[in-house]
Amino acid sequence: MEDDAPVIYGLEFQARALTPQTAETDAIRFLVGTQSLRYDNQIHIIDFDDENNIINKNVLLHQVGEIWHISTSPADKGVLATCYNKTSDSKVMTCAAVWRMPKELESGSHESPDDSSSNTQTLELLCHLDNTAHGNMACVMWEPMGDGKKVISLADNNILLWDLQESSAKAVLSSSAALEGKGQLKFTSGRWSPHHNCTQIATANDTTVRGWDTRSMRQIYCIENAHGQLVRDLDFNPNKQYYLASCGDDCKVKFWDTRNVTEPVKTLEEHSHWVWNVRYNHSHDQLILTGSSDSRVILSNMVSISSEPFGHMVDDDELSDQEDQHQEEKIKEPLQDSVIATYEEHEDSVYAVEWSSADPWLFASLSYDGRLVINRVPRALKYHILL
């Protein structure tokens, strides 16, 4: 089997929520949440065995409702948060809760159980992020690189900062901010920046992207009309502190320097329908993944705005004279941005793309029909970046 060939897994349920298991940095592991109105919803723990190119799965029951968003603790492999739909008094609310998976499933590289009937286990509820006063939960973000004790949830027009206490059994609201003004004041998504000592987040509502300081809970920048239509997703460059990517229903992906937000630094226009998701590679930030309702996943090489615009810097000591000369010629020209690959394994809207937290060259994508595809960065490019 060719190394770059995709591996496909079908969930048999509709799904839109996907996350890597952030705290697991050795084994390749993703979590997928289902959206089923008829059956109990589930979280599928997907372990990818990259030596044999096979997927092992374990299933956890998530009986409270359809999963709209899922995120994992950066510090504790067993802890995760979901946003889910709950119907009470014939009204549908999107709620959020923090859960723990069974101890024996916390670490990656599990075999699939032989007997699929005894295969489902339950999640232990740690706490609810109480949103009765704040509206529908859009997402839960964990403090990056944190101890897993701080989360921010976005609920309608509210930003809520929670302290998880007593081993996450209790969530205490420590501060909040509300979006004020006219128009559609509902957050669609947000990201917590890994820079500035983790004191900044970015949010999207309608066509606007805003930055917030988590200490004062005040707005620090605002990009009005960042996109021509709804902004769907955001991500921070992990290695370049002011750089932020956004994507939306205008089919575009835009890159911003938050110190000067009058114009995007770059715009990508490769998708032909809404772009739901944008993700920077954690190690090689020129690699950008996007997923769209055009059923495609696109991997782009945005090297001109990356932390290494001239490619991989080589230590002079490692070069002979001849190579040295060649190296100098090479360094003068910034490398060109390009689309590396377009992946066509999906037949439905791709609602989520995520890089593995264990292998920087591997990523997963999820379409609404429950198809999960695991792909690798093409080998030629990988060696080009490394060598």
The predicted structure's pLDDT at residue 126:
97
Closest CA to 190 of 238, 148, 157: 157
| Lowest mean pLDDT segment, chosen from 82-91, 227-236, 257-266 | 82-91
pLDDT tens digit sequence for 252-262: 999 999 999 99
Asked, for residue 316, whether it belongs to a domain, the answer is yes
327, two tokens: 């190296």
| Lowest mean pLDDT segment, chosen from 25-34, 257-266, 314-323, 359-368 | 314-323
Asked, for residue 208, whether it belongs to a domain, the answer is yes
Residue 362: which residues within 8 A CB-CB, separation 6 or more?
Answer: 28, 48, 50, 355, 356, 374, 375, 376, 377
Asked, for residue 171, whether it belongs to a domain, the answer is yes
Q: What are phi and psi of 385, to 5 degrees?
A: -70, -40
Are 40 and 61 in contact by the 8 Å Cβ rule? The answer is: yes
How far apart are alpha carbons 143 and 81 in whole angstroms? 13
The predicted structure's pLDDT at residue 316:
45
> In which residue are the tokens 């709950």 written?
86
Q: What rounded mean pLDDT belongs to the chain?
A: 90
Q: How many domains does the chain have?
A: 1
Are 219 and 232 in contact by the 8 Å Cβ rule? The answer is: no
Q: Say how many CA atoms lie within 13 Å of 308 toward its Cβ.
A: 13
Asked, for residue 227, whether it belongs to a domain, the answer is yes
Beta 338-343 vs 297-301: how paired, if at all?
antiparallel
pTM of the model: 0.91
Are 354 and 362 in contact by the 8 Å Cβ rule? The answer is: no
**Which own/partner pairs from 130-135 qualify as long-range (CB within 8 Å, at least 24 positions apart)?**
130/171, 130/173, 131/93, 131/95, 131/96, 131/155, 131/160, 134/158, 134/160, 134/176
How far apart are alpha carbons 56 and 113 in whole angstroms? 9
How far apart are alpha carbons 130 and 8 in whole angstroms? 37
pLDDT tens digit sequence for 105-114: 998 766 766 6
Asked, for residue 145, whether it belongs to a domain, the answer is yes
Tell me the residue range of the domain where 272 lies.
7-386
Q: What are phi and psi of 212, to 5 degrees?
A: -135, 145
How far apart are alpha carbons 383 and 387 in whole angstroms? 6
Asked, for residue 1, whether it belongs to a domain, the answer is no
pLDDT tens digit sequence for 111-134: 766 655 457 899 999 999 988 888
The CATH number of the domain holding residue 178 is 2.130.10.10
Asked, for residue 374, whether it belongs to a domain, the answer is yes
Are 354 and 18 in contact by the 8 Å Cβ rule? The answer is: yes
pLDDT of 241 above 70: yes
pLDDT of 315 above 50: no
Asked, for residue 2, whether it belongs to a domain, the answer is no
The predicted structure's pLDDT at residue 37:
82
